[in-house]
Chain A
Amino acid sequence: MRRLIRFAVGLVALAALGGLVLTRPAALPDAAFAGVTADAGRGAAVFWASGCASCHVAPASAATDRPILVGGQVFPSDFGTFRAPNISPDPVHGIGAWSVSDLGNAMIHGVSPDGAHYYPAFPYTAYQHTTLQDVADLHAYLLTLPPDATPSMAHEVGFPFNIRRAVGVWKLLFLKDDYVLTDAATPQIDRGRYLVEGLGHCAECHTPRNALGALDRAQWMKGAPNPSGPGRIPAIDPVSLKWTEQDIAYYLETGFTPEFDSAGGHMARVVGNFARLPASDRQAVAAYLKALPG
């Protein structure tokens, strides 16, 4: 009997230890960026494709070429209220003291420089696809932007979601590192997949979520409730969206739909970002959307 209890206690301890190991924040190897030469000019394109400014500029600030990424925008959710942090190059309140590996760990593993899990409101579920070259270029570009010493504001997240380690469990369950479109038939579709599923993190709004806030990959791009108010984010899968590839590329450039209505809400910012990318990238996004299974 005593033996059985000891065995049971041991089993529980092992499970707890296993849990701790499994939910441990991951990190890139130290040498990951050895041999990668950063180019801030190329980083600008990574920056706009990733839409960093859309969430990290101050609330209600106008679009500019050199945004101040002071944070402060509020993102309500079923789990609490998240506030975008300061990611300007201020060394104390922003990311000015971050190494390129710190940015890589944040984007690819969703882990902060001090080894804590980020909440997936920061879309590392998409950013994990970012190439190390693009991380390095983006890091170099971010450091060229204007610094701002405003402290970041804390999230308002209640129990049990305020246990950061629990995010490790969430990652185990929902952080899928494979692409949804498994077969990119052409280099253009491959580029589009990188832009849509990766940097552009389009699914964050265009795909519905399950009860724990994870994207429902079976309903990929089939539209979802607007996370920040009334209305719905439209479906953009090829069955729902009848626009031609040219229509989609033109929309991403100008914000005009084929009926010459104009993008609203957060999508207006996305258009502002994509308008700064090469035409080939907008066409790649269009090609990807048309390549999705119907």
Chain B
Amino acid sequence: MRVVRSALIFSVLSLAAAPVLAQDFSGAVKARQGQFNIMAINLGILGGMAKGTTPFDAAALKRSADTLAAVSMIDQTPLWPKGSDNMAIEGTRALPAIWDNPADLGAKWAAFGAAVPAVQAATDPATLGAALGAIGATCSACHDANRAPG
């Protein structure tokens, strides 16, 4: 009887575990990579102005800087489900270290948001360049321990 009960519990547990094992993280991974791609496109527009490869354009600066501000407000919590690291799934460079200290990811993301107002306030290539340097430092601060090399 006991054996039967154990077997029953085991099979129920297996059923419960099955959806977890088959869990699909592609939505979360696409979403988080998408937000980084939006960042990259707008940093590219701003970086071109800072480097002088494109003319300085205050209106374009405002659009891109405001977009960065908007991205910085995206709640990261649902984008980093446990188990969506590069040891567990393909198509990500997110290191398992992220889930050792999830609060740290939130703090690093907040630091990115805190660096955006200086970009919005930039008035010429020099001030923009300095503000982008500060943004880059916040990217690196997180990538250092949390992102594998490509």
A residues sitting closer than 8 Å to B (CB atoms) are 60, 62-63, 226, 229-234, 246, 250, 253-256, 259-269, 271-272, 275
Query: Roughly how many angstroms separate A248 CA and B95 CA in the complex, as a whole number?
Result: 26
Contact B40 A259 (CB under 8 A): yes
Cβ 8 A contact of B40, one of A253, A261, A266: A261
Across the two chains, which residue of chain B brings its CB closest to A270? B140
The answer to whether B148 touches A260, judged by C-beta atoms less than 8 angstroms apart, is: no
Given A60-B97, A234-B150, A265-B147: A260 in contact with B140 (beta carbons within 8 A): no
Q: How far is the CB of A228 from chain B (nearest CB, A)?
A: 9
* Contact, CB under 8 Å: A260 / B47: yes
B136 nearest in chain A by CB position: A254
Q: Does B44 contact A (CB under 8 A)?
A: yes
Inter-chain CA distance A265–B141, complex, in Å, is: 10
> Measured between alpha carbons, how far is A246 from B51 in the docked complex, in Å?
9
Does any Cβ of A come within 8 Å of B119's Cβ?
no
C-alpha spacing A271/B129, complex, angstroms: 16
> Shortest Cβ distance from B51 into chain A, in angstroms?
6
**C-beta contact mask, B16-57 vs A, less than 8 Å → 1, else 0?**
000000000000000000000001110110010001000000
The 3 A-B pairs of least Cβ separation, nearest first, read A264-B147, A254-B136, A262-B139
Q: Is the CB of B137 within 8 A of A259?
A: no
B134 nearest CB neighbor, chain A only:
A254
The minimal Cβ–Cβ distance linking A87 to chain B, given in whole angstroms, is: 20
Q: Give every chain B residue within 8 A of A254 (Cβ-Cβ).
A: 132-133, 135-137
The answer to whether B133 and A253 have CB atoms under 8 Å apart is yes
Task: Report how far A233 CA is from B143 CA in the complex, Å.
Answer: 15
Q: Is the CB of B140 within 8 A of A263?
A: yes
Q: Which residues of A contact B141 (CB under 8 A)?
A: 62-63, 268
**Majority secondary structure of chain B interface residues (helix, strand, loop or mixed):** helix
Q: Is B75 an interface residue (CB 8 A)?
A: no
Which residues of the other chain, B, contact A275 by a CB distance below 8 angstroms?
133, 137
B44–A262 contact, CB under 8 A?
A: no
Q: Are A230 and B148 in contact (CB under 8 A)?
A: yes
Q: Mark B84-108, 1 if CB is under 8 A from A, else 0.
A: 0011000001010100000000000
Further 17 A-B residue pairs, CB within 8 A, beyond A263-B139, A268-B140:
A60-B97, A60-B145, A226-B149, A230-B86, A230-B148, A254-B137, A255-B136, A259-B40, A260-B41, A264-B143, A264-B147, A264-B148, A265-B147, A268-B141, A268-B144, A269-B140, A271-B136
Whether the Cβ atoms of B143 and A262 lie closer than 8 Å is: yes
Partner of B93 from A62, A231, A234 at Cβ < 8 Å: A231
Q: Assuming A231-B150, A254-B133, is B143 touching A263 (CB within 8 A)?
A: yes
B37 closest partner in A (C-beta): A261
User: Can you show 20 pairs from A to B with CB atoms below 8 A apart?
Assistant: A62-B141, A226-B149, A229-B148, A231-B86, A232-B149, A232-B150, A246-B51, A253-B136, A254-B132, A254-B133, A254-B135, A255-B139, A256-B132, A260-B39, A260-B44, A262-B136, A265-B149, A266-B149, A267-B149, A272-B137
Report the bound CA distance from A234 to B150 in whole Å.
Answer: 7
Closest chain B residue, CB of each to CB of A246: B51
Residues of B within 8 A of A262 (CB): 136, 139-140, 143
The answer to whether B140 touches A233 (Cβ under 8 A) is no
Cα–Cα, bound, A282→B136 (Å): 16
A256 to B136, CA, bound (A): 7
